[in-house]
Structures are given as C-alpha cells and as structure tokens.
Structure 1
Amino acid sequence: MKKYENFCSNLAVLASAGKEDLDNEFILSGIINKFSLQFELTWKLLKELLKYEGRNAAHSGSPREIIKEAYAVYDFVDPDIFLVMLRDRNDMTHLYDGKAAKRLVTKIIQVYIPAFQNLKKHIDEQYGDILPGL
C-alpha cells in the first residue's frame, strides 16, 4: 500500500530529528514540516485501514473523525495524543516564536515520534501480510 510506504519512509526521516542541531532554526522548521507531513500521512493511512475494515467514518474527510473512529476500532490508537497532535499541527501555522518552535520540536521528539512508531508497530502486527495488497 503506497500510503503505508509513504508513512514509513517519512517516519524514518522524522525519527532522526533528535540527532539534529536543535539550536538551528532552519532545522527546527524542517522537523516541524516533517511532523506536519507525518500527521497527514498518518490520518490518511488510518482512513484507508478503516475503509478496509468497512467503517462508514472512513468516508469522512475530517482528521478528527478518522482519529476518533480509529480509537473505537484499534486499541493501540491513543486519541489523547493524536488529537493533541492535530491541534499542534493546526496551531503551528501561527508559530512565530523560536521558543515555541523549540517546545514543539521537543514534544515531536519525545511524544509524537514514539506514538507514530508505536502505531507502525501495531499496524505491522495486525496488517503485515496484507498491507502490500491494500
């Protein structure tokens, strides 16, 4: 499945964020942009998996609805983390303060990347054999 391949590929790059120079504003901006893309890839992947499961909410175009439905279907989706991610992703367009950007990057590294990696692990476990055919 192309969406899953894109999710994994972007996550591999994003996961290296902690090794970067976090005092460099350009690096911070790149990490935030990669996070935004990872969030998009994540909710769209969840949408495809929900379609596969025959869930009506999969026809929604709303990331919030997809996350809530994913939580109802999958015990490994933590809505508290993913809904805060959604808020942070939406708020980052108004991020003009370097300190706020650094706080967000710290949260991305410490909370969000592990959440994406956990999601990947569980998707691999549940759909590993059928992902290529989806």
Structure 2
Amino acid sequence: MERITERYELAVRALAKFHELAHRQDLTEIERDALIQRFEFTFELVWKCAKEYLYTQEGIDVASPKKVIRSCREIGILGESDTELALKMVDDRNLTTHTYDESFIKSLISRFPDYDRILHSWLMRLQ
C-alpha cells in the first residue's frame, strides 16, 4: 500500500473516533480525557497525511505542522479562515501535552466541534 494511502486511511479512522465525542455535551471525566487523546492523535495523523500529500503530489518538502498548514493554504487546499483555525489547533495541540489546567481544557473542548469540521474538510481535500 502506498504510504500516502496508508496515512490517509489511518487519519480517516482516527477522525471518525474523534468525531464520536467532539460534539457531545456533558462528558464524564474519562470521556473528556479520551476526547483530548483522540484530538491529539487525530491532529497528528491529519497533518502528517497533508505533509505526505504535499511531498508526493506537489513536491513540497516541509517538516512542521505550521509549515504544512501554510503550504496547504498556498496551494489552495485550505482557505484563509481555515488556515487561521488550523494554526490555532496546532497551538492547542502543543498545549495539551504540557498543560492540564481545567479552564484551558474547558475552552479547548468548546473548540472541538470547529476542529472536527476543519480536520474533516482538510482531509477530504487531500483525498
């Protein structure tokens, strides 16, 4: 199986798992923690899928999530508002590994429906 196809399929499966909880209200603590974990690995798989796409389809070799997002904007995969949201998502993703502040977590979870939408849209454009 081609590497980009494998990355895409993994990202689609991860996104489906993230989607299961991203729009739910009144999560238990365990569900909340699972949702954050699903966000982390889904984001990682989607941006790495985009990285592989940029390299194999466009000849663009970039290594960081923010550079991948900006390159996706430059070639028209992401629009301006989606790019801004995706860049915010990178910052949030980075904070999930270093911060466990209750107010941050509540704020982060409130952004998950938008992140679910952008991740889905981004991934579909890579198809």
Q: TM-score, normalised by structure 1?
A: 0.79
Out of 111, 115, 127, which is 1:112 matched to? 115
* 1:44 aligned residue: 48
| Distance in 2 between residues matched to 1:19 and 1:62, nearest whole Å | 31
Deviation larger for 73-82 or 34-43: 73-82
> Against the structure 1 CA distance between its residues 20 and 8, is the aligned structure 2 distance closer, same or farther, given a 3 Å change threshold?
farther
Size of the aligned set, in residue pairs, is: 120
| Distance in 1 between residues matched to 2:125 and 2:58, nearest whole Å | 19
Q: Is contact 1:20–1:27 with CA below 8 Å preserved after alignment? A: no
Output one character per residue of 1:81-116: Cα deviation in whole Å (capped at 9) or x when no partner.
Answer: 1110000001112332223212211211x2100111
- Aligned-residue CA RMSD (Å): 1.8
The structure with more radius of gyration = 1
| Distance in 1 between residues matched to 2:10 and 2:26, nearest whole Å | 25
Deviation larger for 86-95 or 97-106: 97-106
| Distance in 1 between residues matched to 2:49 and 2:123, nearest whole Å | 10
